[in-house]
Structure 1
Amino acid sequence: MFTTTETRPCEVVVPHCCLLGEGPVWDEKTGSICWVDILNGRIHEYQPAGNSHRTHQVDSLVGAVAICENGDFIAGLREGLSFVGRSSGRTKLLHHPEAHLPQNRYNDGKCDPEGRFLIGSTALNHKKQAGNLYRLDHDLRCTTQLQGVTMSNGMAWSPDGRTFYYIDTPTFEVAVFDYDTKTGRIGPKRSAFPIPQKEGLPDGMTIDSEGMLWIAHWDGWQVARWNPETGEKLFSFRLPVAFVTSCTFGGETLQDLYITSASIGLKEKQHDEQPLAGSLFVIKNSGFQGMRPGVFRHSKQASS
């Protein structure tokens, strides 16, 4: 039996603290966990089996990455949606749907179960409803999914792929949409459930094999498991840092829970109290199992 809140031994994956760590994604093919440091323009990857940590410096704000079929990254860079060569480091611009919005940057992104890439945006000055959500299809066409969001964040799909969960952080709610797996189109927005403000701002999100949502809570010191049907908070892992940003399952059996965090905005005293802020954490053998991560599939050859 699990208690409502549990302080489990969470390991620091690598001795490195990000300014704004985000977007962890498990690469099944290489057995690696990848994540970004948005403001420092770095893509990190760590291979547990070989205890190998690599950093890709892209010299651009990088909101999120996903893994492509060929092993490269698809990324939301300041300059637009781009391929990033995993070996070469070269970038190839695909689309920049917000070229006319220089005050915006791309934020959280993820692949759906069919291999499309969804990524949202937010204003650098936190202007309300200045962001959008986009879908990059197999033919590399880019389509607007949502408009007028403030801080586009957590995304997850139900185990059958027909329901899409989405977080616009300042709303303190999880939104839900019907999802057309054949086209990637979403239906009308509904509210799945509200998040009490005492829990901390809802940030990145993933889903487990039982269809329960795992949400990282900014300024909440926790990753919490929520029932999307009832809105009930089922369980949480307490963390030694306040700014918990996102989470995903990884490992051979998808039972290791990887968690990103941030150190941005902490005052000196807070840094002293949270020396691990900005770390990537893992809770091994968490007792829960995730879903297989989506991989970006495209029909056009576009080498990076």
Structure 2
Amino acid sequence: MTDEPELVWDLRAELGEGPVWDEARRCIWFVDIKGRRLHRYGHDDGATASWDAPDQIGFALPAEDGSLICGVRGGLHRFDPDAGVFTLIQRVEADRPQNRLNDGFVSPDGALWFGSMDDSEEQQTGALYRWFRGGLERKDDGYGVTNGPALSPDGRTLYHHDTLQRTVLAFHHDNGQLSNRRVFARTEDGFADGPCVDADGVLHVGLFNGWGVARFSPQGERIGTIRLPVQTVTKAAFAGDDLRDLYCTTAWLGNADKREAQPALGGLFRLRADTPGLRPTRVKL
């Protein structure tokens, strides 16, 4: 890293998650899952805006028509940023009412990948899904807390986490199909939270209760940690014209008693990375 993490928005989210770069609007979108809020931070001017979500919201990802596709408990919603309106477009897991949606990613073909989890974090009822042009497929099952997924630069490896197990899984990915499920890495110094990948294929993993972002080589070797001044880091995302501005969401969930000592818990941080990230794709509708 080329500088120290900067607190750019001291919003104190209970469970900040899912930062994503919106190049067209030049902003970062992210959510506060437990606060049931969608947030926008202006990359150039620092302008902020927030909206109430219909329920717990796990992710918000830009779509090709300018809207956002949001994972809200019970289903996928389309959010119109101009009108500020959420509209249900796809029910998810009507048979698992104890679950909520958690973290998502758009692959280069425009498919939306996302996970679900038991809201109480007790049962392994979470699953991994792919949603493409209105078709929903369950790709894997039996998770405690899902986070991710993310893809390698060549698109051949998909990473997905079972956070409760502190485990990063890897799959062979081929045109939306998964095979060769295996353990890629484990995070002993924190719970493996949201992932992103840089242009060199280095996997960046938020460390819940681990004070930073873990970095893993494409071979699964731990090659470093980006340290932050708060202990609950949930996910990082590359942004900016050169994709070297790294934004990190954080949370105070589970650490309410630490807020006096760590007043920036739940804030949005930014720092400069040496290696750029991958340009995000919009959801195809």
Q: TM-score, normalised by structure 1?
A: 0.90
Q: Deviations over 1:138-180 (max 9, x none)?
A: 2x11111111111110221011112111111122222111112
Structure 1: gaps (5+ residues): 299-304
Aligned with 1:220 (options 207, 210, 214) = 210
Would you say the 8 A contact 1:58–1:89 is kept in 2?
no
- Tell me the amino acid that sits aligned with residue 170 of structure 2: V
Q: Name the CA distance, whole Å, in 1 between partners of 2:115 and 2:240.
A: 27
Query: Where does residue 245 of structure 2 map in the other structure?
Result: 256
Q: Deviations over 1:214-254 (max 9, x none)?
A: 0110110011211131x222121111111110111001110
Q: Name the CA distance, whole Å, in 2 between partners of 1:247 and 1:151.
A: 18
Q: Name the CA distance, whole Å, in 2 between partners of 1:105 and 1:126.
A: 10
Would you say the 8 A contact 1:31–1:252 is kept in 2?
no
Would you say the 8 A contact 2:57–2:72 is kept in 1?
yes
Tell me how far 1:15 sits from its aligned partner: 2.8
Give 3-state SS (helix, strand or coil) of 1:187's partner.
Answer: strand
Q: Name the CA distance, whole Å, in 1 between partners of 2:167 and 2:275.
A: 23
Q: Which has the larger radius of gyration?
A: 1
Query: Where does residue 115 of structure 1 map in the other structure?
Result: 110
Q: TM-score, normalised by structure 2?
A: 0.96
Q: Deviations over 1:258-299 (max 9, x none)?
A: 10000112243x11111000001000x32121001121012x
Q: Name the CA distance, whole Å, in 1 between partners of 2:266 and 2:280.
A: 23
Give 3-state SS (helix, strand or coil) of 2:154's partner.
Answer: coil
Query: Where does residue 281 of structure 1 map in the other structure?
Result: 269
Structure 1 or 2: more strand by fraction: 2
Tell me how far 1:194 sits from its aligned partner: 2.8
Q: Deviations over 1:97-117 (max 9, x none)?
A: 211211111001111111111
* Root-mean-square deviation over aligned CA pairs: 1.5
Identity of aligned residues (%): 35
Query: Where does residue 20 of structure 2 map in the other structure?
Result: 25
Q: Name the CA distance, whole Å, in 2 between partners of 1:209 and 1:161.
A: 12
Structure 1 stretch 42-51 or stretch 67-76: which is displaced more? 42-51
Q: Name the CA distance, whole Å, in 1 between partners of 2:157 and 2:221.
A: 18
Would you say the 8 A contact 1:65–1:110 is kept in 2?
no
